[in-house]
């Protein structure tokens, strides 16, 4: 059953402002096909969809490759008819088309400022705008050839309003159609262009292919996003610090490389003469310089060996000299000790002699025998022997001084010999 009414009053009052599909034909896509054959030529052309139907016997429908479940929607498009000689040309929109192509609603216009609305049922057309001849109704809102006409069809599922160039030209009702596909309709022997096609849904519509969130979910996601943003900033700061340390290490390595390059430059400068000889092919000079270099290297090695030997000799002499000093100081100490003992013994002897002289005087020590003191005379002779030993120690001290002078002279000679190779 089909029921409809022809009125000029708007019947669809809901807000259809949620854009679901936007097509401006600026670039190729999978929604609208490109067809080039003997009957049809449909291509993208400079932000427009150009259509040319050359077959004269039948019209053609181009369906969008876009699945949807819309029952309440607004379909808006901008269409322009091109100049042709045929009188049957038309261009329009297809909506609520079934997958098998047996049912649909078609709204098209022609170059005679007329529009028409039809319904396809089981593959047969049924005219909704039955007031006009063959369903065509003339309206001044419809523009002619080479002019764009903005067509807008709004529906709440049963009621439909048709606007052409912003003017409500027709309202009708269809109760037995469900959601379906959208497309374009072109008549036989027709040329035309489409500037854009947009499809809008109710502001409360929720597309099954999309995810819709509540306000609480949105706020939760915002908080999570802020937390992730903070964590990311912290991570970036740590990464930046790590990169700074890496840059600092690379800078230090670069400094070291520069120092090495400076050293290499100095060495290159030293061997500039050799390089010049090679560049000028002065082979004799190169050979001579090579011999001299070998001799100098060999001589330097020999001098280093001799220098090491002299260093070892000096160290040995220093050690011997230190040992000699220790022995000398020990002998001085021993000599001083013996001298002190000798002096003490002399003082004791002289004190004893004085006592003997006093004893010989009978007036002082009557009855004391002189023979008891003869042993002390022997002791005095022993003291004389000690005096001889002291003189011998003095001679040994002179001999030690002589040895010390010889060692110092030998040390100075070794040091002079060491200085001569170093200067060379």
CB 142 within 8 A of CB 17: no
DSSP 365: S
What's the whole-model pTM score? 0.52
Task: Kindly give the pairing relationship between strand 73-81 and strand 60-63.
Answer: unpaired
Quote the pLDDT of residue 5.
39
3-state helix, strand, coil in the chain (%, to 5): 45, 25, 30
Quote the pLDDT of residue 363.
52
Quote the pLDDT of residue 304.
86
Regions of the chain with pLDDT less than 70: 1-8, 208-210, 212-213, 273-283, 285, 350-401, 403-404, 406-408, 410-412, 414-424
Cα–Cα distance between 142 and 185 in angstroms, integer? 17
Dihedral angle over CA of 154, 160, 166, 168, nearest 10:
-160
């Amino acid at each position: 059953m089909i029921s409809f009414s022809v009125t000029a009053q708007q019947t669809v009052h809901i807000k259809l402002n949620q854009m679901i599909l936007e097509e401006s034909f600026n670039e190729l896509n999978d929604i609208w096909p490109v067809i080039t054959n003997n009957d049809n030529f449909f291509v993208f052309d400079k932000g427009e969809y150009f259509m040319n139907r050359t077959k004269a016997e039948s019209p053609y429908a181009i369906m969008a490759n876009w699945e949807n479940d819309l029952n309440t929607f607004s379909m808006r498009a901008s269409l322009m008819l091109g100049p042709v000689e045929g009188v049957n040309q038309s261009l329009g929109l297809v909506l609520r088309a079934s997958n098998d192509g047996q049912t649909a609603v078609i709204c098209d216009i022609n170059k005679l400022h007329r529009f028409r609305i039809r319904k396809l049922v089981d593959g047969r057309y049924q005219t909704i705008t039955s007031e006009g001849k063959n369903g065509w109704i003339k309206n001044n809102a419809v523009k002619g050839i080479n002019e764009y006409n903005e067509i807008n069809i709004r529906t709440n599922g049963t009621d439909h309003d048709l606007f052409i160039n912003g003017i409500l030209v027709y309202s009708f009702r269809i109760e037995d159609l469900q959601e379906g596909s959208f497309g374009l309709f072109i008549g036989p022997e027709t040329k035309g262009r489409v500037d854009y096609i947009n499809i809008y849904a109710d502001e409360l519509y929720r597309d099954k292919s999309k995810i819709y969130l509540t306000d609480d979910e949105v706020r939760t996601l915002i908080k999570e996003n802020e937390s992730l943003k903070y964590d990311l900033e912290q991570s970036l700061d740590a990464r930046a610090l790590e990169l700074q340390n890496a840059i600092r290490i690379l800078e230090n390595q670069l400094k070291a490389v520069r120092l090495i390059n400076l050293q290499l430059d100095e060495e290159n400068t030293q061997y500039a003469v050799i390089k010049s000889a090679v560049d000028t092919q002065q082979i004799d000079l190169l050979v001579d310089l090579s011999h001299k270099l070998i001799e100098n290297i060999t001589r330097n090695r020999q001098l280093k060996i001799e220098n090491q030997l002299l260093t070892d000799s000096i160290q040995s002499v220093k050690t011997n000299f230190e040992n000699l000093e220790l022995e000398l100081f020990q002998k001085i100490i021993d000599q001083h000790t013996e001298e002190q003992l000798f002096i003490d013994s002399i003082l004791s002897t002289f004190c004893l002699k004085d006592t003997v002289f006093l004893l010989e005087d009978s007036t002082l020590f009557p009855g004391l025998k002189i023979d008891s003191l003869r042993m002390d005379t022997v002791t005095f002779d022993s003291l004389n022997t000690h005096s001889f030993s002291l003189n011998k120690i003095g001679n040994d001290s002179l001999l030690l001084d002589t040895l010390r002078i010889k060692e110092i002279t030998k040390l100075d000679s070794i040091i002079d010999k060491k200085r001569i190779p170093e200067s060379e």
